[in-house]
Amino acid sequence: MTTIALILAAGHGSRFDKMTPKQYHQLDGDIILNTAISSFIKSEKIDYVQVVIAEDHVDLYNALVKKHNKLLPVCFGGTTRQESSYLGLQQLQPLFPNKVLIHDAARPCLELDIISCMIEKLDRYKAVDLTVPVTDTVKFKEGNNIITLPRDQLYATQTPQGFDYKTILSAHQNALGSSATDDITLLLDQGYEIGLLEGSVYNNKITYQGDLPKKMRIGNGFDVHKFASDAGDHFVILGGVKIPHAYKILAHSDGDVALHALTDAVLGAIAEGDIGDHFPATDAQWSNVDSAVFLRHACNLVKQKGGIISNVDLTIVCQKPNISPYKVSIQNSIATIMNLSSSQISVKATTTEGLGFTGREEGIAVYAACLVNL
Ligand code: MG
């Protein structure tokens, strides 16, 4: 009994990137194609892996794809998915496979138990489709006529799709010239009964850059500002909120030490230096400026990189003023500046029990952390 995985990697993926085909892009420290291949190589139930590539990708393939004794010499695909699939299946003939799993290289997050279950199910069916429920409402449009399809009768198809080798090879021979977007369709057109296997939400197809799974990135920030020595009817600004205090903060800007620490945390999460790199204290245009400007800039950089801020957490350290009555106002103020909901902002306060410079009421320190999905 010989079972082979046929991986279709001949597409040019121009919706993803005009220059490098998506299967050769990095994902979690390796290229997408290597990750797709590795699931099948790891499976004890797969004897060989055949990859079908575009002829003009051969240099990329040779340079980037890891060698393995299960990996058969590469073969070249055609101009459509169906052609590539057929060319790959023909390539396998000398190995007399019994079962074949046909998989798109753009689905790199395949779980091993799907491979095992599919191979097992192929003992009962000539073909097995991998299904996921449709969560959007789907409509059928023909001219001006639009019909809402009954969602409970719909499913979406993933790959791999499993086949009895001889059955799928002859289905391709019989369907020459058509252009099916998957292989099961050919068997359905020819009246075969299909087995169904539940797919996985992790087995997503990568079509656009935005389909790449995001990674969590953490940043932390720390800042200290000193109180001026002349007492009076002053206030400090923390997180954009004015808090009455006998001493004002000495600073180049508005001295919002909370927003400074937070700006550094946001910049840290995306490895974009620190607040001083972006807003040098030597530059007069930043004197007495509202520190919200710094934080908004850092948030915009996250957005420009395609990142999403998940949450931030602040600890304000000072003996005086008492921060507790202002924590909710600070939380809401930061949420407004960062365009996040208040539930994503945590504001905590502590004293140092009279110890150190904060204990001596010489200044305020703030620690901040920020999590970004990028
Ligand atoms: Mg500062």
pLDDT of residue 253: 85
Per residue in 81-109, is it b (16+ CB within 10 Å) or e — as a string? bbbbbbbbbebbeeeebebbbbbbbbbbb
195 SS3 class: strand
**By C-alpha distance, which of 178, 16, 191 is closest to 104?**
16
Show Cβ contacts of residue 164 under 8 Å, excluding neighbours closer than 6 positions. Answer: 98, 99, 122, 126, 127
| Residue 213 clears pLDDT 80, i.e. is over it | no
What's the pLDDT band for 10 if we cut at 50, 70, 90? very high
What's the pLDDT band for 372 if we cut at 50, 70, 90? very high
| Residue 16 clears pLDDT 90, i.e. is over it | no
Question: β-strand 30-31 against 26-27: which pairing, if any?
Answer: antiparallel
Separation of 275 CA from ligand 1 center, angstroms?
8
pLDDT of residue 178: 86
How many CA atoms are closer than 13 Å to the CA of 327, on its beta-carbon side? 16
Separation of 281 CA from ligand 1 center, angstroms?
9
| Residue 19 clears pLDDT 80, i.e. is over it | no
230 SS3 class: coil
Separation of 237 CA from ligand 1 center, angstroms?
12
What's the pLDDT band for 143 if we cut at 50, 70, 90? very high
> Stretch 118-143: mean pLDDT, rounded?
96
The letter for the amino acid at 108 is P
| Residue 18 clears pLDDT 70, i.e. is over it | no
The residue behind tokens 């970004």 is 372
Tokens of 70: 């299960």
pTM beyond 0.75: no
| Residue 131 clears pLDDT 70, i.e. is over it | yes
The sign of the torsion formed by the CA atoms of 72, 74, 80, 81 equals positive
The sign of the torsion formed by the CA atoms of 93, 94, 96, 102 equals negative
Separation of 255 CA from ligand 1 center, angstroms?
6
- Count other Cβ atoms within 10 Å, centred on residue 312: 26
| Residue 189 clears pLDDT 90, i.e. is over it | no
pLDDT of residue 179: 87
- Is the CB of residue 219 less than 8 Å from the CB of residue 370? yes
Separation of 256 CA from ligand 1 center, angstroms?
7
pLDDT of residue 186: 95
Show Cβ contacts of residue 96 under 8 Å, excluding neighbours closer than 6 positions. Answer: 2
Separation of 226 CA from ligand 1 center, angstroms?
10
Separation of 259 CA from ligand 1 center, angstroms?
8
| Residue 97 clears pLDDT 70, i.e. is over it | yes
Each residue's pLDDT tens digit, 322-348: 999 999 999 999 999 999 999 999 999
| Residue 252 clears pLDDT 90, i.e. is over it | no
Separation of 227 CA from ligand 1 center, angstroms?
12
Cis, bond preceding 321 (omega within 30 deg of 0): yes
| Residue 25 clears pLDDT 90, i.e. is over it | no
pLDDT of residue 293: 96
Separation of 314 CA from ligand 1 center, angstroms?
15
Show Cβ contacts of residue 173 under 8 Å, excluding neighbours closer than 6 positions. Answer: 86
Separation of 149 CA from ligand 1 center, angstroms?
58
| Residue 240 clears pLDDT 70, i.e. is over it | yes
Largest CA distance in the chain: 91
Separation of 367 CA from ligand 1 center, angstroms?
12
pLDDT of residue 4: 98
What's the pLDDT band for 212 if we cut at 50, 70, 90? confident
**By C-alpha distance, which of 106, 132, 110 is closest to 40?**
110
Separation of 263 CA from ligand 1 center, angstroms?
10
| φ, ψ at 188 (rounded to 5°) | -60, -45
Tokens of 303: 């957005």
Separation of 257 CA from ligand 1 center, angstroms?
5
| Residue 21 clears pLDDT 90, i.e. is over it | no
| Residue 319 clears pLDDT 80, i.e. is over it | yes
Tokens of 39: 């699931």
CB under 5 Å of ion ligand 1: residues: 223, 260
